[in-house]
Structure 1
Amino acid sequence: MSDRRGVSGLALDWHRAGRAVAVATVVDTWGSAPRPVGSQLVIDGDGRMEGSVSGGCVEGAVIVEALEAMEDGRARLLDYGVSDDEAFAVGLACGGQIRVMVEPVGGAMPVTLLEDLVNRRASGEAVAYVADLDGEARRLEGPAAYPDRFRLDRSGVEPDGRTFVAIHNPPLRMVVVGGVHIAQHLLPMARACGYDVTLVDPRPAFGSPERFPDTVISEDWPDEALEAMGLDARAAVVTLTHDPKLDDPAIKAALRSPVFYLGCLGSTRTHAKRIARLEAAGFGAEDIARIHAPVGLDIGGRSPAEIAVSVMAQVTATLRQD
């Protein structure tokens, strides 16, 4: 599972251990930036660091500024140019510019605010850290304040040019029902895309650790497993068993939740039968319309790996596109 506390949690741990601490955050980029907006680096008073704001291009200069910030307690807003040679060294074709905000913990970043942020992240709550780039004002906001930023996981500076919004969403999750060949390709793809993944299959021969190494496997019945997980709007569910006894309970559980994606393997004919069963169970047209079936984008995929690619692409499009 992902550490939901992130760099913020590490900064708080270091502060509580009696270390001087500053947090550096990428607030804006131009051109080909080594790290995206929202990337963070935590530095202590001895110059030790965790995280990254540039993949190594400007970390040394940021540490120097962070040490000074720990002394006077004031935030810094720093602009750096990344040369073509430096960018090439970290795998980019050309250079660019980045703007980095440095905040000393206990100074510009109040400890109580950091504690609140860490606690809310640890509980799985979606929260935004909002900073005035021209001043010292800091606050936390929920998804209602910046709905598009939360939906797209997009930290950045607001149109006013002075308000920076750092989005801290809980981890994305993907639950796959059915330990079939497609799942053997799909789960690693989802993990590589940043999802916490879980396989649900009560059949030991299918959902075995040998077939799915380093994967959380639930042998509970699908509806019980999904309901126990507490599905939310950051979760995707994919059913792959082709067996209504297993798929249908999972589909019903997913439809009763706010998952952002529900995809079900099966032909158009199979889905028509599925719709009839769901209607008989009391689900309406609006509920059923949430199902992506046949699952995946139509890219002509035939092999399990190609089908997994189509599913991952459709999940991504559903999450990220308007």
Structure 2
Amino acid sequence: MASELKTQPSQKPWWNRPLWGDKSLLEKLICKLSKPEVFEGAIHLHNRELLEAQGFSKMAKAIDSDKFGSQEFLLFVKIKYLLASNLDGYEGLSDSAQLLAVALKAKDSLMVLNQTELRYQTYKQQQFYKFVEDLLSQNLDIETFRGRVQAKLTELLVQIKTEEDKMALQAYVKELNDLSEHELGLKLLVSLKGYYCIDYSILSKIAAIINRLGKKDIQDLKRLVSLVLVNYEFFKKLKKIIGLSEEKNTPETYARLIQYLALNHKYQLAFLKFQELEAVLWQWCKHYQAILAIRQQYPPSQYKQPKDFSQEIPGLKIYLKYKNWLSDRKA
């Protein structure tokens, strides 16, 4: 009987028996009570960073849009990135894309300028065209350029006899001013002045092709290459206008360009908002990293953490939504 009693486990009060593992409730309570408090300054810093993260979270939610998650918009964002970074078939295409965009926007002004120069060729008018060409070569700022053009026009108008010729020059100056409203507009005109006999009407034809693109066309580069090949007699004439190298003068290049321009027309404003969101999330990330660093410095296994340390960081969901994109941009 005595030997049986020796084999029985030691009888301890319930509060001192192991609940799981090898630690009793009493031992766990003692362990918890023995943990130090988190440094007060760290708590203050943590909560301040949490408040900052909350502010940027609200801003991000206000900017965010369902449109940002669409396949077509994300394709545009990717192309913008590749174009700016000279990667994956978009090497050296940034300037040409900008010039083509300006050319299509300013196609009417370019055609009027060209037609005026061809139709009205009195001595005074040719003198004015030469004056404008000289000014363009000086790379002046827009206001200075416009001022000098207007002064020269005023000087010549009193010397020109017919009303038709006067009106032609006045219309010419108006189109110059309209062209200068476009970024790179005057640069484009300088480039075109270096070539003889350019068919400006092809710009209208190219614009019509882009305007007719359907959703499937825009997202499928192979379909766009086929479309370019069908209309290649127009596209190949763009080489001089947009300064393409011989190496890049291919149907695939033109397909990439019209895809970009079609998407840019559709999502230009949305992309500006997306850039705002991106900037806000980068700011949010700084506070997020600070919060994580503080929590890791005072882990619950070693410190008695205040309840704010277990709070979900505001903005985490929207950050995770765009995490892959932000990581790619950082890389």
Q: TM-score, normalised by structure 2?
A: 0.24
Considering fraction of residues, name the structure with more strand.
1
Considering fraction of residues, name the structure with more helix.
2
Which of the pair has more CA radius of gyration? 2
Q: Which has the higher contact order (CA 8 A, sep 6+)?
A: 2
Q: TM-score, normalised by structure 1?
A: 0.24
